[in-house]
A and B are shown apart, each in its own frame.
Chain A
Amino acid sequence: MLLTSIYVMLGLAIVLGALLGIAALLFKVEGDPLVARIDAILPQTQCGQCGYPGCKPYATAIANGEADINQCPPGGDAGVHALADLLGVEYKPLNAEHGIPKPKAVAFIDEATCIGCTLCIQACPVDAILGASKHMHTIIASECTGCELCLAPCPVDCISMKPLAETPDNWKWKYPVFPIKALPANSGKASA
């Protein structure tokens, strides 16, 4: 009796162990899923304001516990909240050392001043600048993340950041607010 139960338990252990082993091989997770999930929250501006050379390196640093969650100004407060939720840590306000959130803007090249040096093209993290050596450059506005990395290398300072204007296309309905109106003097008395 005793032996039988030992054999049964042993058999079960071997079978289940083998199953677990096979599952571990079959459903092996490539890379660190946590990094991908953090990266999905980051705004992909690739601006480097966090002190890392892009969003993915910052995500890796957060996952490794090397960086704090409040170093991404473009992600804003909502981004920090989302990261805090994901990682199960306490929310903390954005670290002002890494910059403050700004309204979304796109780079604009003053084409009359551009000398075609290609320095901005090399700096752009998302290849959103079009041009060639000694030819005028221009920004592909729909692909610009507004990271401002092209501003510093420009030798003639012909790049400026233009905030996105509100148009009927991107206009949003506002949160309902109720203006507080002072009641006429007599009605105030009546209610009092």
Chain B
Amino acid sequence: MNNIIQFASKLIKSLTVSDVHQFHGGVHPDEHKHESTTRPIAQLPMPETLTLPLRQHVGYIPKLKVQVGDYVLKGEMLAEAEGTVSAAIHAPTSGTITAIAEAVIPHPSGLPDMCVTLTPDGKDQWKPLTPIDWQHTAHNELIASLRTSGIVGLGGATFPTHIKLRTDGTSAVHTLIINAAECEPYITCDDMLMRERADEIVQGIAIAQHLLRATKVVIGIEDNKPAAAHAMTAASQTLTNATVTAVPTLYPSGDARRLIHLLLGVEVPHHKRATEVGIQVFNVATVLAIYRYFTFGEPSVSRIVTVTGNVAAPQNFEVLLGTPMPLLMAAAGGAKADTSHYVMGGPMMGFDLPSLDVPVTKATNCIIAASPTLFAPPPPAQPCIRCTRCADACPVNLQPQELYWFAKSDNFEKARDYNLFDCIECGCCTYVCPSNIPLVQYYRYAKSEIIALDKAQEAADLARERNDFRLARIEREKLERAQKHAERAAAAKNNLAQPESAEADKAASNPDAVAAKKAAIAAAVERAKALKQAAANSRGAEADSEQPSLAESNSAETKPDSDAQAKIDKKALIAAAMERAKAQKLAAAQAGDAPKNTENLSAKVKAEIDEIEAIRTKAQQMVKDKASDND
């Protein structure tokens, strides 16, 4: 029966609404939007502390610019964007930085991360603000300026906005789509924003249109928000070539690619970005933030948050970033007694907060107090019966049942082949599954495993490259050494060869010279022997083991050119060198080997040096002890 009604309504819609292009699948859960739209957007009292996680956006962590104890004014930059995909973080109010430490952040992991804690002074005093004349400023300057604004996509994806507006002057973007669909149940922050501040949003749209050089603007609003659509239609009269289009209320029409399909009938290829087909999508709250930044110079320091669900008075609030969530709950009349947990984001795509004691971030569009009556715990999962209802509901045209098998059996390569990474985790498949299988959980598991495996593979490739390079370097150094030795040997040979040949000539003519030479060699051998003996004696006990060989060398003096003799000669030379080194060391120690540049040291530095010296002597003592232990 239900199916027939759904089919009929789809048929009627497809006949009546001719300017939207229906996407495949989708679901229509209970909207629960009216609860929080009865009251206007309210301001919160100033919290006692604000906790600002550095991780509030997609991309690299920004670089801290403040220290504990610094006094900052409202809007002053606390951390600047580092790397391409990154966004700055600003002080939401004036006050003192009281801590920079790890704290639990609103993240599904529930793990702590680096946060800046700001204690407001209550004055809420802005830093000197400099509005930007966007109509008469170069495009690249505007983008560079936007990079310091901290503005990210406020629909929940938190992708840095300045990157989406980069066009290099020759933009291929022809259509700007303003995403006001807000398809998730319960969330109404964009709805209320459009009702109350449509004029400001429209001015933001004008700026975005100017930056992108887009010729056409389409504002897509789900048809369950007639008041917002009306306000936007009235306000958008000032825009050139802009239309407000109502799209049917069908989750997930607020997904960027689904909305593009709905409004333009264009399906963005799965391996391409929307900009590659000339379309860019912005959320309404994001364009409002752009407007406030360019017109007043205000960076991103607050956002609208829907507080709804199991609370006494569901409402939207304009909240400073970093505001603790318990304060928000209290402002909405407090959570009712049977509240079991809290969800950040919507019921379809949001995640359970590890605890309510986390701050509001740029991604916090909605907080829902959940209770067993509002969100009944899912019945136990049954085996998949291959009904493919999930495939019918999938708005991305994937095969969720296949992905489920692959993810469940850790068959990650297969899952990737079936385009797991095109899954937007909208939860439609889980919603329709008659066996209550938490399909999206399996996809998230598989995705994060694949990402981890890819990272490990990257690390392995780097290690292989570095190891290959090291082996090549060792080989090259060996060759170079061998070559150097060969060259030196050749040079020595040449030097020797010439005088020798001359002497040989002389020797042939003069037998006396031969006898003299023989005598000289004998004298040299004697000298070497004496030296050896001295060296051996000086080595003392250590040389005991070598005594026999020395005695042998004495007995073998008749054949000084033998191999054994050569070896012993070498040993003696090494011993002599060691003696010399020892003597040098001793002399250095006696002279006091104080390092240079130590004349004008402060007491603190000296103390540090002493401490390090103490550690070093201790370490050396340890080594000696160890060596003696080994002996």
Contacts and interface: CB of A to CB of B under 8 A. Distances in A.
A178 B464 contact: no
A125 interface: yes
Interface string B418-457: 0000000000000000000010011011011100100110
A15 B80 CA distance: 70
Contacts of B460: 42-44
B461 interface: yes
A54 B461 CA distance: 14
Interface centre among B449, B455, B461, B464, by most chain A C-beta atoms within 10 angstroms, is: B464
B500 interface: no
B467 A125 contact: yes
Nearest to B612: A112
Contact of A115 (B113, B442, B459, B620): B620
Given A112-B612, A113-B615, A156-B619, A171 B461 contact: no
A171 B112 CA distance: 11
Interface in A45-103: 45-46, 54-56
A127 B472 CA distance: 12
Interface centre among A56, A155, A172, A176, by most chain B C-beta atoms within 10 angstroms, is: A176
A172 B460 CA distance: 20
B55 A44 contact: no
A155 B74 CA distance: 54
Contacts of B55: 168
Interface string B53-83: 0010000000000000000000000000000
Nearest to A128: B466
B622 interface: yes
Interface string A12-47: 000000000000000000000000000100111110
A112 B462 CA distance: 30
B466 A173 contact: no
Interface stretch (B102-110, B293-301, B507-515, B562-570): B102-110
B462 A156 contact: no
Given A112-B615, A125-B467, A143-B462, A173 B448 contact: yes
B109 A171 contact: yes
| Chain A interface, DSSP helix/strand/loop, else mixed | loop
B623 A155 contact: yes
A54 B615 CA distance: 36
Contacts of A126: 463, 466-467, 470
A187 interface: no
A186 interface: no
Contacts of A115: 616, 619-620
A156 B616 CA distance: 10
Interface in B265-295: none
B623 A172 contact: no
B380 interface: yes
Interface string A143-164: 1010000000001100000000
A181 B411 CA distance: 29
B34 to A, nearest CB: 33
B467 A46 contact: yes
A166 B463 CA distance: 22
Contacts of B113: 167-168
Contacts of B109: 166, 168, 171
Given A156-B622, A176-B438, A39 B470 contact: no
Nearest to B626: A155
A32 to B, nearest CB: 16
A175 B445 contact: yes
A168 B102 CA distance: 12
A189 interface: no
Contacts of B380: 178
A145 B622 contact: no
B381 interface: yes
A127 B463 CA distance: 9
Interface string B335-349: 000000000000000
B441 A173 contact: yes
Nearest to B449: A172
Given A112-B615, A143-B466, A168 B445 contact: no
A107 B622 CA distance: 22
Given A127-B470, A167-B111, A173-B448, A113 B463 contact: no
A46 B462 CA distance: 12
A4 interface: no
B442 A176 contact: yes
A39 B465 CA distance: 12
A5 interface: no
Nearest to B474: A122
A175 B447 CA distance: 11
Contacts of B442: 175-176
A44 B467 contact: yes
Given A55-B464, A112-B615, A127-B470, 19 more contacts: A42-B460, A43-B456, A46-B463, A54-B467, A56-B464, A115-B616, A115-B619, A126-B463, A145-B459, A155-B623, A155-B626, A156-B619, A156-B622, A167-B113, A172-B449, A173-B445, A173-B448, A176-B438, A178-B380
7 contacts: A44-B464, A55-B464, A112-B612, A155-B623, A168-B105, A170-B455, A176-B442
